[in-house]
Structure 1
Amino acid sequence: MLQNKNTLVIPLLNAITILFLTSCQKDTSKADLKDALTFYASFDQGVNADFALGDKQMYTIPNRKARDSAQVGLHKPDISIAKGKGRYGDGLLFTERSKGNIYYPSKNNITYNATDWSGAVSFWLKLDPATDLKPGYCDPIQITDVSYNDASIWVDFTKENPRDFRLGVIGDRAVWNPNPEGPDNENPIFNEKLVAVKNPPFGKDVWTHILINYSHLNTQNGEASLYMNGKLKGTRSNITTPFTWDLELSNIYIGLGYIGLMDELSVFNRVLTNEEILILYGLENGVHSVLNQ
C-alpha cells in the first residue's frame, strides 16, 4: 500500500528536531559548566592545573605551620603522576601515609564570599578503603585556612574498618565549639554536622565520582550535599555557623592520609544541578570536554 508523503516526512522532521534540541541542550549544559568552572587539574600534563582563575601551581609544605617553607611543585616521594592510570589519561597516585601536605591556593580558585557563598567540588577516587588505607582518618580533600574543624569543607574516611565516607562542612570553631573538651572529631556536636555514607561504593578496580555541592554558606540558609556516582547520598540543611576565612591562608589540600588514585579535580563557582552532575559524571573525556566548548 502506498503511503502519503506527509506520513513519512513529518515523523522524520520530528526526529531531526528532537536530535537537534537534545544536542543543543547537551552543548548548553557543557557551556554552563564551563562558565562556572574556576579550577581544573587533570594531572595529564603534570601536577599544575590545566585551568585556574587563581594560581595554577601545586605547592608542598612540611606541615601547615611552616607556610614560609612552601615549595613550588610536588616534593613528596610517595606521590607521583601515574601514566595512563587515571580516570582519563594520567592520574595522581598516593602510595604512603606520610608527613607533609600538597595543595593549591584557594584565592580566586575558590569563589569565597563572606556574605553568601556557594560552589561545588568534583573529583574521582580509586581505592579499596579496607585494604589500601592505613589506620587513622583520611581526607582526600580539605579546603580551609586553618584545619578540618574550623571553617572547612572536606570529605574523609573514618579511621577504622569498616570505614564510612563523610562530608564535613564545618563553620567557625569558636562558634560551634566555644568551650572545647577533648578532640573535636569525637565531639557529638561535631559528628552531628556530618553527612555519613555507610558501605560507600569504592573498589580496587573501579573509579568513584565525588561531587560536593554547598550553597548559601554565611547566611541563615546554608546547605551542603554529597553525591557519589551521580547519586545524592545525603544533605545537611540549616547551616547557620559562619565561615570566616583569611583567604590568603586558605588552600585546597589533597591526599591527607590518602592512599590510592585521584583524578579530575574541578571546582565551580556555584552549586550544580542534578542534570549537570550527571553530565559531569558521564563525560567521555573528562572536564576537557567542558573546556573545549
Structure 2
Amino acid sequence: MLKNTSLIFTMGLFCVLTLSSCKKDTTKEDLKNALTFYASFDQGINADFALGDKQLYTVPNRKARDSAQVGLHKPDIKLAENKGLFGNGLLFTERSKGYIYYPSKNNISYNTSDWSGAISFWLQLDPATDLEPGYCDPIQITDVSYNDASIWVDFTKENPRDFRLGVIGDRSVWNPNPEGPDNENPIFIKKLTGVKNPPFGKDQWTHILINFTNLNTKNGQASLYLNGALKGTRTNIDTPFTWDLELSNIYLGLGYIGLFDELSLFNRALTDQEISYFYSLENGGHALLK
C-alpha cells in the first residue's frame, strides 16, 4: 500500500513539474468555438459552416444590391476542381465588373463598442505576372467602400507590388474634408501596414491572416500574418467603424486573378500559438468541424 501511495505521489509530482505536458491541449476546441464562418469551396460555393447566411451572392455593383443574385454569376470566376489547397478552390481568371460576396451579418462578429476578430484565407498567384494593372483586393469587408469603415488586404497597383493591410475607420472622421483620391492621401497611406516582396508564387499557396482587437475603442490594433509569421501591426486605431450591418458584406476577389481558398472568420483575435496551429492544420478548417 505504501509503495502504491509513493508511486501516485511521484506521478503527481511529475505532472506538477511538467504541467505543460500533462495539461490537455485545447487549441482545436478553442478555435472551433471561436469560428463564425468557414467556406472550403470543396462542396460548392456556399459556406460549410456559418452563423449567418451561408449563400454566396453576385451583384453588378455596390449600389445595385437589390439586383443581387444568389449563386455565382460571373463567368470569370469558377470552382476549380482539385485546384484548391486541399480540394476545390475559387479561380478568378480576369478583372471584370461586378462582385461576389457573403453577407457580414452574424458571419463576422461586429460590435459597436469593442470589436475583435480574425480573418483567414489562402491565395495562389504570381502578382507580377497574373494581376492586371490597378489595385487588387482579394478580400474587402465593408458596408460602403475600401475607404470607409473597411477591413481589407490589397496588392498595390504596379510591379513590384506590395501587399498591404487596411483597417480604415469612418471616412467622415479620418477625412472630413477630402481632396483628391483617398488611396493617394498621405493620411490614408499612414493607416496601412505593408509588406514588400511578399511570399506569393505561381505554384505555391500563401496563408493570410488578419488579426484585430478592440476596434471601436481608443486602443484598436490590427496585425497581418503571412504563412504564420507576423509581418506588421498597426496600433492606436481610434477612428470608429460604423456599419449598417444589413449592408455590410464580405467581398471576394476585387480585381483579383488567381486561386482563393479556405475562408475562415473568428469572433476574436487569435493567439500566436493558435495562428501557427491553424496554419499547419493538414486539412484546414475541415479539422475544426469534426
Three-state SS of the structure 2 residue aligned to 1:189 is helix
Instruction: Give the corresponding residue for 1:252.
Output: 250
**Counterpart Cα distance in 2 of 1:191 and 1:22:** 48
**Counterpart Cα distance in 2 of 1:287 and 1:279:** 11
Which of 81, 93, 96 matches 1:95?
93
The equivalences for 1:184-223 within 5 A come to 184-223=182-221
Instruction: Give the corresponding residue for 1:156.
Output: 154
Within the alignment, does 1:24 sit opposite 2:24 as a pair?
A: yes
Shift of 1:290: 1.1
**Counterpart Cα distance in 2 of 1:23 and 1:215:** 28
Shift of 1:21: 3.9
Which of 84, 91, 107 matches 1:109?
107
Question: 1:39-97: per-residue Cα shift (whole Å, max 9, x none)?
Answer: 00000011000000000000000000100000000000110111111011111100000
Three-state SS of the structure 2 residue aligned to 1:262 is strand
The aligned amino acid for 1:53 is L
**Counterpart Cα distance in 2 of 1:98 and 1:76:** 9
Q: TM-score, normalised by structure 2?
A: 0.93
Question: 1:168-221: per-residue Cα shift (whole Å, max 9, x none)?
Answer: 000000000000000000000000000000000000000000000011000000
Instruction: Give the corresponding residue for 1:227.
Output: 225
Specify every segment of 5 or more residues in structure 1 that has no aligned partner in the other structure, as ranges. 1-9
Q: Structure 1 pair 22/30, CA: closer, same or farther in 2 (3 Å)?
A: farther
Q: Structure 1 pair 99/22, CA: closer, same or farther in 2 (3 Å)?
A: farther
Which of 251, 269, 272 matches 1:271?
269
Instruction: Give the corresponding residue for 1:5.
Output: none
Specify every segment of 5 or more residues in structure 2 that has no aligned partner in the other structure, as ranges. 1-9
Q: TM-score, normalised by structure 1?
A: 0.92
The aligned amino acid for 2:230 is L
Instruction: Give the corresponding residue for 2:5.
Output: none
Identity of aligned residues (%): 78
Question: 1:220-275: per-residue Cα shift (whole Å, max 9, x none)?
Answer: 00000000000000000000000000000000000000000011000000000000
Instruction: Give the corresponding residue for 1:34.
Output: 32
The aligned amino acid for 2:122 is W
The aligned amino acid for 2:24 is C
Three-state SS of the structure 1 residue aligned to 2:172 is helix
